[in-house]
Chains A and B, each alone.
Chain A
Amino acid sequence: MQMLPWLPQDPDLSGAIKAARGIADPLARLHAAIGLAGHDRDTVATQRIDRLAEGCLAELGDGGLTPLRLAILASHSVDHLVPAIRVAGLSHGIAASVHVDGYAQFRQTLLTGDAALERFDPQLVLLALDTAALLPALPLSTDESEADELVRATAADVRQLWRQARNRFGAQPVHQTLIGQAPPVIGSNELLLPASPASLCRRLDQALREAAVEDGVPVVDIADQLPEAIGDDRRYDPVRWHQAKQLINPIFAPLYGDLVARVLAAAGGRSRKCLVLDLDNTLWGGVIGDDGIDGVKLGQGSAEGEAYLAFQHQVVRLAERGVIIAVCSKNDHAVAAAMFEQHPEMHLRQSHVACFVANWQDKATNLREIARRLNIGLDSLVFVDDNPAERAIIRRELPQVAVPELPDDVAYYPERLAAAGYFEAVAVTHDDFARGQNYAANAERAAAVEASTDMDGFLESLDMTLTVGPISPVDRPRAAQLINKSNQFNLTTVRRGEQELAALLGDPANVGLCFRLRDRFGDNGLISVILARPDPQWGEGSLLIDTWLMSCRVLGRGVEAAALQVLADAARRSGAIRLVGEYRPSGRNAMVEEHYERLGFVPVEPPETCNGAARFWHLPLADAAPPAHHMKLEIRA
């Protein structure tokens, strides 16, 4: 039985786990465990991989993964699901610590507090509830308005619990959707009985989904994303419920764990960003170089052609919501491009494609090149190729790239790609919709740079306007998204949730700025965030730049210089006499090692209490001259 069908199978997973246990070096052992977590696996194998990884993490701390503390407050047993959450976390670069609250204690814990949970200090609180725990059984004769009232009151009650998770524990609440346990009393026309358990479950579930969107609460959707049955096994099995109060069948643990982990990853900005597509037999049937434009199968008239077209439609929808699309194909560039330009049924257009690579080099080299040109990490890429040999090579050469197993029939490609959950998001911002176009416009900009020999002239010709203002509540979701996902142009890589950010901005002594960049190619949206705060270690009048990050899309455009000018003004207004800049190497942010030096800051010795690897510079504000740039500044109050 395939539980995680997009992951490759290991013919001897059990043997591989045993072999990994024998690795002496804990870091090498952890990497082996991470590799094993990337394979299709059942519940027992998942638990064994968890023990293997937990042993390593006990020795290593986080082992280079992002540590994350998740508390689960549930109305049913969840202990059997915890190893699967941790193992799925490994695949997403997360070392999850999971605290399980006392059985069905969620209300008490949230309303009156709990010492153990306070000590655990969760970053996220997953409320995993079932309908029976929330709603009293009603007489079936209860009328519509009474049932409505109960649903409304119950939803208000759950929202209160979310608020408590935020207020009492400073944690981001996460909502798990409700799944029906009681079968219908009528059947198809169940809603004729507004108070039947099945009707109430449906209504409450809908009410809570809407409340979650309103309250900014991410959702783990077990009702729609977890299949009701796989083979003879059901996600909710009354046998397991009666035996152990398990709402989720242990057999489904690997899938459940992945659902939770991908939402955690998305909340931490670790979702994938870019879909790289092969062409022949992936976007159309046949080989363009052999069969010609007239010979390949695409579009109406053949079942196979329609299936390829349906896959293209799914790809375009992903592009529209901000997933970057790239092409990586072994083809003559002109031949591949002609298909896009001339085939009347092509739904994916070159304008959707941010980076188009068709040549005869090996695909690992090309994927590296794609990541470089788009300024994103290899761990942001998903590579879709119908050829199992190419998939195997990429998995071996570039283990950071996600490479889904594909079903034999292209008709199943769209749902397979969706099932893998690579592009999970917990917020959708206006910028997401514009992003795809931006990356495509960037390709044009890059071409313009290559063509231009006069950099200043080129920047001037871009006609750039930088809009600057405080981080308002409207900006907060996108600002938090950037704070949690930028790795390369990020001076300190301090991560902050929306809650934490709001708290920080609430203090008038702190400076928080966000920057939007427009140019003649389009609007780049919110591209940079700076946070600065007084720090007693640096003495009176010093403002420590706690966070400075920028989207790599706008690298080399002089945004930093213009941003410094605005920051210096804001600092002066807050009464500061100098700025202190910090650089903390993260392994991925070497590109900004010289950032402060380039902006005219002078190195200073850190206070003794500082973290060893961090380096510091300062800029006295009295004699700071505004650095040169090519931006028009638009200051929002």
Chain B
Amino acid sequence: MTQQDIYAGLTEVMRDVFEDDDLQIGSTTTAQDVPGWDSQAHVLLIVATEQRFGIRFTTAEFESLKNVGEFATLIGDKLARRG
């Protein structure tokens, strides 16, 4: 899966979670940039992303993510490791 595919998938997940059909994300997007991205929505985003890509984030990873770029890179790493 290319970075582009990952961003496309992530955009779809985030549009559903935050209920915004026009939401655009980039590598520097953070929780502050998206209305409704609070701690509760964050858990839902993690869960929905896990389901979408068939991966799992660890307890430690959950805390370390700073922006969408790091999120996408982590998804890419996990998918690559899975092979």
A contact set with B: CB distance below 8 Å: 1, 14, 18, 42-45, 47-48, 51, 77, 79-80, 239-240, 242-244, 246, 249-251
Contacts and interface: CB of A to CB of B under 8 A. Distances in A.
A42 B16 CA distance: 12
Contacts of B47: 43, 249-251
B53 interface: no
B51 A251 contact: yes
B74 interface: no
B59 A51 contact: no
B48 A243 contact: no
Contacts of B13: 44
Contacts of B16: 14, 44-45, 48
Given A18-B21, A48-B19, A43 B62 contact: no
B34 interface: no
27 contacts: A1-B51, A14-B16, A18-B21, A42-B51, A43-B44, A43-B47, A44-B13, A44-B16, A44-B17, A44-B44, A45-B16, A47-B17, A47-B44, A48-B19, A51-B19, A80-B40, A80-B43, A239-B58, A239-B62, A242-B59, A243-B43, A243-B59, A244-B43, A249-B47, A250-B44, A250-B47, A251-B51
Nearest to B12: A14
B15 to A, nearest CB: 9
B43 to A, nearest CB: 5
A42 B17 CA distance: 12
B69 to A, nearest CB: 21
Contact-residue bracket for chain B: 10 to 19
B44 to A, nearest CB: 6
A243 B17 CA distance: 18
Nearest to B63: A243
A244 B39 CA distance: 8
A89 B51 CA distance: 26
Given A79-B40, A240-B43, A244-B40, 14 more contacts: A14-B16, A42-B51, A43-B44, A44-B17, A47-B17, A47-B44, A48-B16, A77-B40, A80-B40, A80-B44, A239-B62, A244-B39, A244-B43, A246-B43
Contacts of A77: 40
A44 B13 CA distance: 9
A250 B58 CA distance: 16
Nearest to A45: B16
Nearest to B54: A232
Contacts of B58: 239
Contacts of B19: 47-48, 51
Given A244-B39, A246-B43, A250-B43, A44 B48 contact: yes
A45 B12 CA distance: 13
Interface string B1-20: 00000000000010011010
Among B13, B17, B48, B58, the most chain A Cβ lie within 10 Å of the Cβ of B48
B10 to A, nearest CB: 13
Given A14-B16, A79-B40, A240-B43, A43 B48 contact: yes
A48 B16 CA distance: 7
B48 to A, nearest CB: 5
Contacts of A243: 43, 59, 62
A246 B62 CA distance: 15
Interface in B24-67: 39-40, 43-44, 47-48, 51, 58-59, 62
A307 B31 CA distance: 53
Nearest to A83: B44
Given A14-B16, A48-B16, A244-B39, A239 B44 contact: no
A383 to B, nearest CB: 32
B12 to A, nearest CB: 9
B54 to A, nearest CB: 9
A149 to B, nearest CB: 37
A18 B15 CA distance: 11
A215 B3 CA distance: 58
A48 B18 CA distance: 9
